[in-house]
């Protein structure tokens, strides 16, 4: 006889999850909020995406087109890939959960990098699998450490490239070496949420590896450069076998009509996307330089945020800086949960937001707490 429980009990692993805590959005009532805590777009969405979103309201009573066909077609044309290898999701977070629960079971291991995205271990626990971290070197993914951590139980390796919250990346040659060292049954998931922000000539988001192998998936999102975080929209570029699996397990209407419409419109607004990319590059360089002038250690970032190391001395720590800035309505992200208690992460906002945040950090470091 199985034990009789007094209430419903979730599967093993679920209660090991430390629920994801998003970047804060609220300050004191009536205070202006400068939200630089979730790597959202500093300049928001394309006006054409907003128009498409509004136009979709008339069909609110209809179910979405369940295969996101027009959106997949638009992605296929934009990136020159076959539409039937693309699966859309309610954010790439949904796709991460679907991949993990499809390919990892209790007893299996899900591998990721020391300061990697927290949704990876959360999804592993949700599947009853075991999350395993490999150490990083200089706040950068270490290919050899990841390969050394592969065991017969490894089923998935998640690589955020560029990584959040460090902002560092692996060149294409290193990703290829990582892939070459993996057993063929291990699924390599290249999470390229910040790919659009990278200018480095030796970077690749992952198209070629997906096309060359049966065990590589690339994830992309509309939440960052495209500025559609509220609509929840992401996509996976997959080998045929993985696309088939995702299409079996996903909800039949997992991407809303509004998200599909706004996604198509923003993909087509190439000028706006270029403008958003240039805005980020300009203010990322400015803020990196300004914070370095203030004596802070800034990890060189290729993404739309900076990881900033604060001093150890009392009165100047990351936790104290966060409290000081929060009191002024400036919301950064503490990253202690990522194993980085001495750092804060700051997203690139508007130019004015970057200037106000830098000025407030200067006040903090000066001990000007008035």
Ligand X SMILES: *Cc1c(COP(=O)(O)O)cnc(C)c1O
Binding segment (CB under 6 A) for ligand X, from list 58-66, 69-77, 216-224, 332-340: 216-224
Q: Output 92 or 288, the one with its CB closest to ligand X.
A: 92
Q: Output 85 or 333, the one with its CB closest to ligand X.
A: 333
Give the footprint of ligand X on residues 149-178 (CB under 6 A). 160, 164
Give the C-alpha separation, 359 to 53, whole Å.
36
Q: Is the dihedral of CA 225, 116, 311, 370 positive or negative?
A: positive
Residue 40 makes contact with ligand X by CB under 6 A? no
Return the residue of 37, 41, 46, 92 that touches ligand X, per CB under 6 A.
Answer: 92
Q: Tokens representing 147?
A: 């390969």
Q: Which residues pair with 217 in a beta bridge?
A: 189
Residue 197 makes contact with ligand X by CB under 6 A? no
Residues with Cβ within 8 Å of 176's Cβ and at least 6 positions away in sequence, in order, are: 209
Burial class of 332 by CB neighbour count within 10 A (0 to 12, 13 to 18, 19+)? buried
Q: Output 132 or 193, the one with its CB closest to ligand X.
A: 193
What angle in degrees, to the nearest 10, is found between the helix axes of 270-293 and 351-366? 10
Residue 193 makes contact with ligand X by CB under 6 A? yes
Residue 229 makes contact with ligand X by CB under 6 A? yes
Using an 8 Å Cβ cutoff, are 300 and 5 in contact?
no
Residue 39 makes contact with ligand X by CB under 6 A? yes
Smallest separation (angstroms) from ligand X to the CB of 255: 11
Give the C-alpha separation, 297 to 316, whole Å.
13
Residue 145 makes contact with ligand X by CB under 6 A? no
Q: Tokens representing 26?
A: 């609220």
Q: How many CB atoms lie within 10 A of CB 136?
A: 19
Residue 218 makes contact with ligand X by CB under 6 A? no
Smallest separation (angstroms) from ligand X to the CB of 38: 8
H-helix or E-strand containing 133? strand 130-134
Q: Which residues pair with 333 in a beta bridge?
A: 345
Residue 221 makes contact with ligand X by CB under 6 A? yes
Q: Output 328 or 343, the one with its CB closest to ligand X.
A: 343
Q: Output 232 or 328, the one with its CB closest to ligand X.
A: 232
* Residue closest to ligand X, measured at CB: 91
Residue 113 makes contact with ligand X by CB under 6 A? no
Q: Output 39 or 154, the one with its CB closest to ligand X.
A: 39
Return the residue of 42, 64, 121, 234 that touches ligand X, per CB under 6 A.
Answer: 234
Give the C-alpha separation, 207 to 184, whole Å.
18
Residues at the contact surface with ligand X, assessed by CB under 6 A = 39, 91-93, 117, 160, 164, 191, 193, 221, 223-224, 229, 234
């Amino acid at each position: 006889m199985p034990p009789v429980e007094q209430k419903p009990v979730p599967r093993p692993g679920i209660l090991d999850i430390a629920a994801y805590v998003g970047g804060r959005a609220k300050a004191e009532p009536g205070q202006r909020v400068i939200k630089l805590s979730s790597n959202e777009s500093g300049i928001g969405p394309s006006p054409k995406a907003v128009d498409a979103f509004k136009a979709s309201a008339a069909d609110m009573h209809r179910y979405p087109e369940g295969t996101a066909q027009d959106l997949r077609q638009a992605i296929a044309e934009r990136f020159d890939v076959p539409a039937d290898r693309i699966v859309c999701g309610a954010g790439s977070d949904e796709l991460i959960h679907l991949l993990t629960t499809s390919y990892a079971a209790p007893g299996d291991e899900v591998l990721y990098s020391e300061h990697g995205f927290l949704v990876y271990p959360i999804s592993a626990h949700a599947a009853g699998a075991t999350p395993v971290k490999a150490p990083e070197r200089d706040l950068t993914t270490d290919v050899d450490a990841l390969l050394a951590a592969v065991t017969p139980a490894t089923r998935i390796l998640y690589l955020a490239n560029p990584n959040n919250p460090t902002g560092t990346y692996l060149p294409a040659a290193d990703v290829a070496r990582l892939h070459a060292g993996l057993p063929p049954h291990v699924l390599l998931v290249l999470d390229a949420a910040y790919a659009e922000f990278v200018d480095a000539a030796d970077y690749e988001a992952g198209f070629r590896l997906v096309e060359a192998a049966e065990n590589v998936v690339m994830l992309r999102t509309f939440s960052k450069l495209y500025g559609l975080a509220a609509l929840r929209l992401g996509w996976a570029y997959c080998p045929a076998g993985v696309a088939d699996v995702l299409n079996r397990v996903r909800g039949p209407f997992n991407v809303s009509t509004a998200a599909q419409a706004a996604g198509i419109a923003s993909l087509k607004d190439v000028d706006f996307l270029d403008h958003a990319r240039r805005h980020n590059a300009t203010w990322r360089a400015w803020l990196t330089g300004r914070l370095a002038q203030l004596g802070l250690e800034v990890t060189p970032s290729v993404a739309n945020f900076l990881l900033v190391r604060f001093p150890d001395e009392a009165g100047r720590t990351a936790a104290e800086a966060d409290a000081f800035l929060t009191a002024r309505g400036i919301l950064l992200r503490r990253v202690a949960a990522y194993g980085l208690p001495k750092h804060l992460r700051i997203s690139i906002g508007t130019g004015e937001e970057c200037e106000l945040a830098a000025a407030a950090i200067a006040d903090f470091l000066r001990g000007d707490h008035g």
